[in-house]
Amino acid sequence: MAAKFTNTVKGNVHTVKTIAITGASRGIGASAAIALASPARRLVLMARSEDKLRQTQAQVERRGGQAIVLPVDLSSRKGAELCSKLLLERTDGQLDVLILNAGISNHSDFLNSNLDAIEYELRLNYLSPLVILRQCLPHMVTQPDGGHVVCVGSLASLMPFPGEVSYAASKAALLSLLRSLRVELRHQPVTLTTVLPGYTATEMTSKHRSLLPAMSSERVGISIVKAVEERPHLVIPGISNRLAARLFRTFPGISDRLLARFASLLVPSVKQP
């Protein structure tokens, strides 16, 4: 039988929030799910690996929360559409918060990059979130206090990241999507939040290099909880990341030249001029 929430959550049903998280099997997604665990929140955990989702589910339940798992592959339009369908079915259309976190980074210099890997990256990081939003937003705007979408992007969408060219492009597309949607849906009762973490120490980034200090996935997860509670438009976790974003916004030319000097440290195959 398909997993659904039980009726064991105490309190007024209208005070219980249903929160869906993609990419909840590891890294930032798992950390956010664990940090969100609460009797007042019902979590839907989505990712490819059912075994890892079960591990996240167990940690959520140990903290007094309730969670169900949906093993789905979001690397194709068909998978994203199926994810949306199952999500709405399992929650009976009551979806208060949608956290779009699933993503991948192919660390490589562009001239030696693999086009199939880039296409996969773009599907998972941008096209699948777009499909899920298109399927779920019409239901979310009917929630009594307005739905809330949280997209986990990247600081790479605001500044150059050598070795992460296609990743940065996919996250910039996601950022632009949310900004435009925010204006288009300004009269609808829905909040759109973008969280832009910098370099985060996860399994995905274990072989990556960064000039900025790494944050733990737990700290980013806490930032996502704060975003869910306060509903801002933009969150950049970490002081150093916020300073870097401001530097590149205020002095783009100087910042680009400065970063270019260190490109060979980030991507060894890039030649130093």
Name the residues annotated as catalytic.
167
Chain-centre distance for alpha carbon 183:
21
Query: How far apart are the C-alpha atoms of 172 and 264, rounded to whole Å?
Result: 23
C-alpha pair distances (Å), 32 with each of 52, 57, 99, 108, 214: 14, 12, 9, 28, 17
Give dist(CA 273, CA 224) in Å, integer.
40
Q: Report the C-alpha gap between 94 and 2 in whole angstroms.
A: 17
Structure tokens belonging to residue 214: 């790494």
Per-residue tokens: 85: 């369908």
Q: For 214-231, give the secondary structure using H, E and C.
A: CEEHHHHHHHHHHHHHHC
Do the strands 190-195 and 234-235 form a parallel or antiparallel pair, or are they unpaired?
parallel
Q: What share of the chain is helix, strand, coil (3-state, %, to 5)?
A: 50, 15, 35
